[in-house]
């Protein structure tokens, strides 16, 4: 994989995104029904771009929540740097501007033969094409003692909203000098740099408000995404505050005890003042129930159309899929969703399909004024998504470059969420 400079990659991705975002002209005269299950980043993007591609597609988006709170940037809320309300988005523009029917309910079952979706109120929706964006679920039994009741004491905060508020409240209530324990999950999981960004930003909060506090990261892995950038930042910004213990050192986390807020590894028990436990993950429950997952627990798809490799006529996007080199990130879900929308529109129109430009671009905070960025381009190769071009920040970047990245991240968030939710 070739490495590019930020400027070179920016020129390439800018041109590619203009191509990817160009809507197709109207399709044939017959109305086609497309149902999209899941109103997160992937699902909302598919719905919007399908509705924008032609007036001859009826798009219905099924999502139980009235509003969506982004997981990305939620670490800023945990650090007291951004109110959760600024991370919350509604679906009104999708209906008002694009004519999408938004059904606030849960999809309980899919019948691929009848091409229907059954909702939690007993009603059914028929479809010509179905897109499922089910997100993630936690693997049952991956950590002994960690169940729904434990989540209210040792929150994961990996689905933004109530869990994010809970963890923030616990951090605010924690006494100075307390120990914050973060359990980082095994690969693959949603947003690979997020646990370590979380530790970094919570450390910045502790510096301001609880300078005697300590952070312990108990990892299920022996290395992690952008490790050199994080550990360099921890040494610069938070000397002596953050300790990272890999699985090879602890033997891995095996259990938790919510009553004592203890995290248990093969070799030791760690008692926390606040514990943030992020368990092992897999595709969302609906994908499992509908036969869309393989033995890995994730959903294999065609890398051009994002049609399920297991259930023809059903497409999948977002964190639930097996994305090859593409990580499980919001921008990847958005990029996949556009490719999926254009593929469905082309198929319904009977026109040629072309592999779309697929990208991941994101910013990760190391401190409030220190962020790094990456940009990666992907293309289908031998039935898998492979990274082909990349820009990734380097350890030796200047403080001014990192400050500019932190400022750019704010604009990135606003532009990105506007692209998704209108």
Top-confidence range, 12-21, 24-33, 227-236: 227-236
Structure token pair of residue 323 = 């994305």
Assess whether pLDDT exceeds 60 at residue 29. no
- Helices and strands, counts by H and E, the chain: 12, 23
pLDDT band at 15 (very low <50, low <70, confident <90, very high): very low
User: 3 pLDDT exceeds 80?
Assistant: no
**The predicted structure's pLDDT at residue 14:** 39
Q: Out of 3.50.50.60, 2.130.10.10, 3.40.109.10, 3.30.70.260, which CATH number does the structure's domain 2-137+281-421 have?
A: 3.50.50.60
Residue pLDDT, tens place only, 88-131: 999 999 999 999 999 999 999 999 999 999 999 999 999 999 99
- Residues of the chain within CATH 3.50.50.60 domain(s) are 2-137+281-421, 140-277
Strand partners, 319: none
- Hey, CA dihedral for 272, 275, 278, 284, is it positive or negative? positive
CB 180 within 8 A of CB 272: yes
The pTM for the full model equals 0.92
pLDDT band at 53 (very low <50, low <70, confident <90, very high): confident
Q: Provide the mean pLDDT of the chain.
A: 93
Is residue 62 within 8 A of residue 107, CB to CB? The reply is yes
pLDDT at 272 over 50: yes
Distances (CA, A) of 47 to 41, 57, 303, 334, 340: 10, 10, 19, 11, 10
Q: Which CATH class is domain 140-277?
A: alpha beta
- Tens-digit pLDDT profile for residues 393-413: 999 999 999 999 999 999 999
pLDDT, residue 395, reads 98
**What band does 56 get if pLDDT is binned at 50, 70 and 90?**
confident
């Amino acid at each position: 994989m070739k490495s590019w400079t930020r400027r070179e990659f920016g020129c390439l991705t800018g041109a590619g995104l203009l191509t990817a975002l160009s809507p197709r002209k109207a399709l044939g005269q017959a109305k086609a029904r497309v149902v999209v299950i899941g109103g997160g980043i992937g699902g909302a993007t598919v719905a919007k771009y399908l509705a924008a591609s032609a007036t001859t597609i009826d798009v219905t988006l099924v999502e139980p929540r009235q509003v969506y709170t982004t997981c990305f940037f939620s670490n800023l809320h945990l650090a007291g740097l951004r109110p959760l309300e600024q991370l919350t988005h509604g679906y009104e523009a999708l209906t008002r501007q694009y004519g999408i029917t938004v059904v606030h309910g849960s999809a309980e079952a899919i019948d691929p033969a009848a091409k229907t979706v059954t909702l939690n109120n007993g009603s059914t929706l028929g479809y010509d094409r179905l897109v499922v964006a089910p997100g993630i679920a936690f693997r049952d039994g991956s950590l002994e003692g960690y169940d729904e009741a434990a989540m209210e004491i040792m929150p994961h905060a990996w689905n933004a909203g109530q869990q994010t508020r809970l963890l923030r409240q616990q951090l605010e209530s924690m006494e100075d000098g307390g120990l914050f324990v973060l359990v980082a999950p095994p690969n693959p999981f949603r947003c690979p740099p997020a646990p370590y960004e979380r530790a970094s930003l919570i450390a910045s909060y502790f510096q301001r408000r609880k300078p005697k506090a300590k952070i312990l990261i108990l990892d299920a892995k022996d290395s992690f995404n952008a490790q050199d950038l994080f550990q360099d930042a921890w040494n610069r910004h938070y000397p002596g505050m953050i300790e990272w213990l890999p699985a090879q050192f602890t033997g891995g986390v095996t259990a938790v005890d919510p009553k004592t807020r203890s995290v248990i590894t093969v070799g030791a028990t760690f008692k926390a003042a606040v514990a943030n436990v992020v368990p092992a993950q897999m595709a969302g429950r609906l994908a499992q129930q509908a036969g869309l997952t393989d033995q890995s627990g994730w959903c294999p798809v065609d890398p051009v159309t994002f049609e399920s490799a297991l259930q023809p006529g059903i497409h999948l996007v977002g964190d639930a899929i097996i994305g090859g080199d593409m990580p499980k990130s919001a921008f990847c879900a958005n990029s996949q969703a556009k490719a999926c929308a254009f593929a469905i529109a082309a198929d319904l129109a009977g026109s040629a399909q072309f592999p779309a430009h697929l990208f991941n671009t994101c910013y990760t905070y190391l401190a409030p004024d220190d962020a790094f960025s990456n940009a990666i381009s992907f293309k289908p190769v031998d039935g898998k998504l492979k990274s082909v071009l990349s820009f990734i920040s380097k350890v030796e970047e200047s403080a001014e470059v990192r400050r500019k990245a932190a400022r750019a991240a704010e604009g990135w968030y606003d532009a990105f969420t506007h692209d998704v939710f209108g």
